[in-house]
Amino acid sequence: MFQHNFFMMAKGSADILFQLVRSLEKSEKRHFKLYIKRSSAKEDLKIVQLFDALDKLQEYDEKILLKKLPFVTKPQLANLKTHLYKQLLASLRLLKTTENTDLQLSEHMDNARLLYNKGLKLQSLKILERAKEIAKENNKFNFLAQLISLEKKIETLHITRSTIQKTRLLTEEATEISDHIVRVTKLSNLALLLYRWYVEFGHARNEQDEKGIREFFQSNMLPNTDKLTDFYEKLYLYQSYSWYAFIRQDFLMYYRYGQKWIDLFEKEPLMIAVETGHYVKGMHNLLNALFDLRYYEKFSVILKKFEDYAATPLGQHHDNFRIHTFIYIYGAKINQHLMLGTFKEGLSMVPYIEEKLNEYSQYVDKHRILVFNYKIANLYFGSGDYATSIDYLQRIIHNHVELRYDLQCYARLLHLMAHYEMGNYEIMESLIKSVYRFMAKMKNLTVVEEEMFKFLRKSFDISPRKLKPALEEFLNKIKHLEKNRFETRSFAYLDIISWLESKVYEKPMSEIIHNKFLKSRNQNPREGWVKNLESRNAGVLS
């Protein structure tokens, strides 16, 4: 049902005006009506009726819409929709200006230009000075560059009686801002390209990937980064290192730079409101790093901190960030159950997650849906409900989205394991061939997967009496590979070790994982984490 609803909503919401109307809160709808009444023309009454008609539709259907608006012909509808779209944006801009620094600065810039065009140069300069103060307070150097550009234009073309000293300071400021923007542009480009690489391919698959990523990173990284002092320079520096470490599965480096990312905001808490999206993403990355390192204690602390933030007025303020905060928090909650082995408890969240994803369907990208499907499939697999796990995995396998080739591969491998657990041996041979070909084509085969395929092929001919020794042999072959950088990916996506141990020791997989958690907790928490780091990062750290 969830999958059907999601794709139905995605298809039905293709009209951009309908998307905008459906996204509005009650207060925003009320403000729009008041805004139109204050500046109403005869044509505006028609767009209010169009607005009301769209607001009542559950899905966009132009035929139904035209029936609700008998005074509008089909050719007129396009123009009316364009007019309504512009008026809605104008209304939102008026309502939200005081809540958003970028909108405030844009308003100041517009006002300065209007005054300048009216010949009121000194008034324009006063507004620019105030806007520059706001831009500096909020580290908005891109806006600062635009403000200085207009200020220089006025000073160059007109006699403003500014002092030589002020003019010199203005030119120095312009040069400094220009240099800063170049640094931020280079670092943000690097962070973006690394993130894009990960979304498409996942983790580095082999030495060739590793070498390519390292060379790309080193050739694009700025020199003397230890001398960077600005918020945005540091932010994009830490992001670049985070993605670089994550792609290479250097989880300790990933954690270090994820923590630096959040520390940056905690040193300048004003920036949480200014750059909410970056703060939310930083919390998500920090939780991911702690999950990869199995640092249970700190994971719980950061997750609680993130949930507390999400409940604040700031955390609830913007639709976009509220939705992404939900996605990141519930992704982390599933990870917590995967870490603790509490799979069945985790399944209690699934109906709520699906309900919210369906509600947010037009705002959530397909990549997030794929990841949730994979995590939920893991919960069902760990709970022993292999049939439902297969249902969720098929959503990934049959969704031909060219994203996360690694996720596509491991979804197929887990799908294969679920059929093995269900005893569907009549289809196993063809499945093994199909999955092997797919993973080989994607250059995604590691030693762990090769050993997995060897075992599965042999298992059909092994008598029940000899199966347990064969499982023990398989476990011994791959257990030492947990310390190998290019095998870490296999264990990050599939806890094959715990699965094998559950077969060898004849215990539920959930019990095996939970006992590992209890053992780690009974140690000194810090000591247990350090030991875990040593085992997971041996030969990995740089």
> In this predicted model, what pLDDT tens digit does every residue of 5-34 receive, in sequence order?
332 333 444 689 998 998 888 989 999 988
Co-location of 30 and 90 in the same domain: yes
Do 13 and 76 fall within a single domain? Answer: yes
Last residue of a domain, one of 122, 138, 162: 162
What is the sign of the dihedral through the CA atoms of 488, 491, 497 and 500?
Answer: negative
- Which tokens go with 322? 């509220």
Q: Could you read off the pLDDT of 132-174 as tens digits, one per residue? A: 999 888 888 888 888 988 888 888 777 666 667 777 888 888 8
Per DSSP, which regions of 204-314 are E strands?
none
Number of domains into which the chain is organized: 2
Residue type, 159: I
Identify which of 468, 485, 537 has the alpha carbon closest to the alpha carbon of residue 214: 485
- Burial (Cβ within 10 Å: 0-12, 13-18, ≥19) of residue 250: buried
The answer to whether the beta carbons of residues 67 and 77 sit under 8 Å apart is: no
Task: Indicate whether 124 and 158 sit together in one domain.
Answer: yes
Do residues 83 and 16 share a domain? yes
Domain end among 134, 162, 190:
162
Q: Which of 77, 98, 119 is the last residue of a domain?
A: 98
Both 80 and 152 in one domain: the answer is no
Confidence band of 401 (pLDDT split at 50, 70, 90): low
pTM (predicted TM-score): 0.77
- On whether the CB atoms of residues 452 and 487 are closer than 8 A, the answer is no
Range of the domain at 118: 100-162
Is residue 43 one of the residues assigned to a domain? yes
Question: Mean pLDDT score of the chain, rounded to an integer?
Answer: 85
pLDDT tens digits along 357-393 = 998 887 888 888 989 999 999 999 999 999 999 999 9
| Structure token pair of residue 25 | 């809160």
Token digits of residue 91: 């209304």
- 6 and 89, same domain (yes or no): yes
Q: Are residues 84 and 104 in the same domain?
A: no
Contact, 235 vs 281, CB < 8 A? no
- Pair (83, 109) in one structural domain: no
Residues 139 and 153 in one domain: yes
Q: How far is CA 29 from CA 84, 89, 508, in A?
A: 13, 12, 53
